[in-house]
Structure 1
Amino acid sequence: MTHPGTLVLIMAAAVLAPLLVYATGRRVRIPLVIFEIGLGVLIGPDVLGWAHEDEVIDTLADLGLSMLIFLAGYEIDFAAVRGDTLRRSLGAWLVALPLGLGVGLLIGGGAFYEGVVIGTALTSTALGTVLPMLRDSGELGGRFGQVMSAFGAVGEFGPVVAVALLLSGRRPAESAALLIAFGAITALAVFWALRPRRPWFGRLAEGTLHSSGQFAVRFVMLLLACMLGLAEVFGLDVLLGAFAAGVLTRLVLHRAAPGTSGVVLGKVEAMGFGFLVPLFYVVTGIEFDLHALLHDPGALLLVPGFLLLCLLVRGVPACLWAPRDFGRADRAALGLLASTCLPLVVAITTIGTDQKLITSTEAASLVGAAVISVLLLPLVAMRLRARGGRVDPRPGAGPPAGNGTSEAKDSEAW
């Protein structure tokens, strides 16, 4: 059983993190996740030594990771990323994947699974971190925002599928067959989700929205549990199930209860961003091997090296495969935002260290590079956009004049 003091410390860090974001927001915009991980490092064994991982905390952190990926899946609006934009985003990621795997194999000295962990991490995009900045600038509903949503969606979905396919411990053909079977069942679930729902579903969802029944929220949690269980049955990583559950939930709620879907999502986000997701990030900081990173010059040098590799592996293909109507500044901004990574890097390196596929030093270097990418790359990208007169880079500036979007709002990710 966990020591109650550990959970208290973790939740205290989770409460302190948004206060720090607010305190520093007037001068510089720092993503909330940076403070959550940083406070976890501070209270962890390598600094103050107040908090330590245990079985209960690890289980809650795993739930937080599942909720994070679930919400990322929900964010994706496939109606906005289809057509030529989707083909270009897929093409960019399919070029990045072999590049990343090749780099990973070189770094891992030819060790296949180590190369897969490093390579897939280099191809990921932190869509949940990038979207709030696009919302705040009023660009999420515009041309650039739609293109970035497509590239980010593939940058989240692609690595999840690659991890499920390549890190299952099975032969590639067997893993592919299981993945196809999982995909077929998920496709049937999507077909079911797109069917018109009976009127009672919407009435019950709305009628229990502010009561102890909470039918819609319980239904969403059931979908998540079913997809996690299905992935487990097929021997695939639960991240794939969580992502599929998010996509299904969006389809079901928007079709069956369009009037209440926003409120339902708000309740689910409250559970996720209010408890489980920050707990996952704080625990990530507690487990972060700061000692290995600071006492190994090679590991410390890997941090800027991995950051550069993220730009080369993920950013350059995104620039090259950007839509033809994008100018140089837009292409550069797209490449920088596509290279911004953290949540999936944390998830993939956690899998890698749990299965002893990579060392804690390599994991710390990758996560360190991902943290810097979240701190630096979006700011540079938005300043490039601002030089073209498209956005105001100041925190809280809101949509630019003439932009009619109403989506600029505060987000839990910042």
Structure 2
Amino acid sequence: MSAAVHPLVLVLIPAAAVAAPLLADRLLRWIAVPTVVFEIVLGVLIGPDVLGWAHVDELVHALSQFGLAMLMFLAGYEIDFAKLRGGPLKRAGTAWLATVVLALGVGALINPNPLDGAFTGLVLTTTALGTILPILRDSGELPTPFGSLVMATGAVGEFGPIIAIAVLLSGNSPARTAVILGAFAVITALAVLGAQRPQPAWMARLIERTLRTSGQFAIRAVILVLAVMVAAAIWLDLDMLLGAFTAGIISRMLLSGVPAHEEEVIEAKLESIGFGYLVPVFFVVSGMNFDLDALLDDPGTLLLVPVFLVLLLTVRGVPAALLAPAGLGRHDRGALGLYAATALPLVVVITTIEVGAGHLPSSTAAALVGAGMLSVLVFPLAAQRLRGDVRPPVAEEEGRPRVRAESW
């Protein structure tokens, strides 16, 4: 271990990660606060701007980057594009393109530099799919037509910005960028074809035999897919987020032929690695890097928080609501827009990258993250209030609710 690593930080970050769900659980009787909000807040508390107990060293930074990669991997893994084909995905894509146009205009007004303005606007195009999915799952709405719309909106709101980040950060000419993305698409297509091939009998036996042993073949294979796709993205001068996100999609396809009970165990293990260890490190460290002084020292910067919150709702939420299916009711449209405007994880990711690359002032980044934190506190709760206590009829089968889903 490097001598520069302070032992206290190795304890404080896991302690903050443990305290976050405890605090969220204690507040649950009054308000549902996503755990990620507490992870960031506790990171701010122990970080240099408040208590000064923990600082980001090389080891902590490396663990944070692993957490970022795992976060994007799990985001890609949660998305099943096969179930979203057709109306929901097309409408979500159209709404996101409308959002991009509005966001680029807003970014140009905020920052006259074209590249910096594009980065600022890009933050307004994201949707916190990982935050929304548990809410829909717990309310029983995930398998419904409305759940499919929200799922498609969230999927595009994560995949689209990641592609945009990869393009903007490459620094290449449009022609070279197109060639590079084409090369990555070919690599991805080959990986998808390989993942969709029927599993050999020996592989199925090996997965089953090592699932609860030290061998852990399935988990190691998935981590290898993640490493290969991240390495491919970096090799092609693209951002690692694209590789990690794509690895999640490929891994879901790779495990689609695994028996359901084994797939559940594998998914639980991956979530344990991600949400139990690496992802909380990323968000706690993001809080430690949060420029609280820049946010509080300037009243104008602090006022940007509600401004950005309104912009998230206007730029991301309104297009999603307006371009929803014609048969969707007024309250459901409003709820869809509120869910679409819920954005925090990718806001943290994008602002972290932008500040590091010098494309965004840390004060503006702090205001954007603050707006993202408010969005996950306010928008999902408001969406649920708009739709009321919607719990579709369920039939119990093996202890799990089943709902017949339709398509818009």
The TM-score range, normalised by the shorter chain, is over 0.9
Q: Structure 1: give runs of 5+ residues left out of the alignment.
A: 392-399, 409-414
Within 5 A, what are the aligned runs for 1:7-156?
7-108=10-111, 110-156=112-158
8 Å contact from structure 2 (residues 24, 32) kept in 1 = yes
Per the TM alignment, residue 259 of structure 1 is displaced from its structure 2 partner at its CA by 4.0
Question: Cα RMSD between the aligned structures?
Answer: 1.3
**Using a 3 Å threshold, how does the CA distance of structure 1 residues 308 and 143 change in structure 2: closer, same or farther?**
same
Per the TM alignment, residue 401 of structure 1 is displaced from its structure 2 partner at its CA by 6.0
Residues matched between the structures, number: 396
Aligned equivalents of 2:261, 2:37: Cα separation in 1: 35
8 Å contact from structure 1 (residues 201, 256) kept in 2 = no
TM-score normalised to structure 1 length: 0.93
Q: Which amino acid aligns with 2:149?
A: V
SS in 2 for 1:140: coil
Q: Structure 2: give runs of 5+ residues left out of the alignment.
A: 403-408
Q: Which amino acid aligns with 1:210?
A: R
Paired residue for 2:406?
A: none
Paired residue for 2:245?
A: 243
Aligned equivalents of 2:312, 2:182: Cα separation in 1: 29
8 Å contact from structure 1 (residues 196, 256) kept in 2 = no
- Spell out, residue by residue over 1:6-26, the C-alpha distance to the aligned partner (whole angstroms, 9 max, x if none): 121011111111111111111
Per the TM alignment, residue 256 of structure 1 is displaced from its structure 2 partner at its CA by 4.3
Aligned equivalents of 1:93, 1:200: Cα separation in 2: 43
Per the TM alignment, residue 185 of structure 1 is displaced from its structure 2 partner at its CA by 1.4
Paired residue for 1:189?
A: 191
Within 5 A, what are the aligned runs for 1:349-360?
349-360=351-362
Per the TM alignment, residue 330 of structure 1 is displaced from its structure 2 partner at its CA by 0.6
SS in 2 for 1:167: helix
**Using a 3 Å threshold, how does the CA distance of structure 1 residues 290 and 247 change in structure 2: closer, same or farther?**
same
Aligned equivalents of 1:251, 1:58: Cα separation in 2: 31
- Spell out, residue by residue over 1:269-301, the C-alpha distance to the aligned partner (whole angstroms, 9 max, x if none): 101111100011100110000010001111111
8 Å contact from structure 1 (residues 201, 257) kept in 2 = no
Paired residue for 1:222?
A: 224
Paired residue for 1:370?
A: 372
- Spell out, residue by residue over 1:351-372, the C-alpha distance to the aligned partner (whole angstroms, 9 max, x if none): 1011111110011011000000
Aligned equivalents of 1:323, 1:234: Cα separation in 2: 39
- Spell out, residue by residue over 1:121-179, the C-alpha distance to the aligned partner (whole angstroms, 9 max, x if none): 10000000000000110000111111110010000000000111122111222212211
- Spell out, residue by residue over 1:204-243, the C-alpha distance to the aligned partner (whole angstroms, 9 max, x if none): 1111011000000000100000000000001000000000
Identity among equivalent positions (%) equals 56
Paired residue for 2:393?
A: 402
Paired residue for 1:317?
A: 319
Per the TM alignment, residue 115 of structure 1 is displaced from its structure 2 partner at its CA by 1.2
Per the TM alignment, residue 120 of structure 1 is displaced from its structure 2 partner at its CA by 1.2
Aligned equivalents of 1:188, 1:213: Cα separation in 2: 27
Within 5 A, what are the aligned runs for 1:257-406?
257-386=259-388, 390-391=389-390, 400=391, 402-404=393-395, 406=400
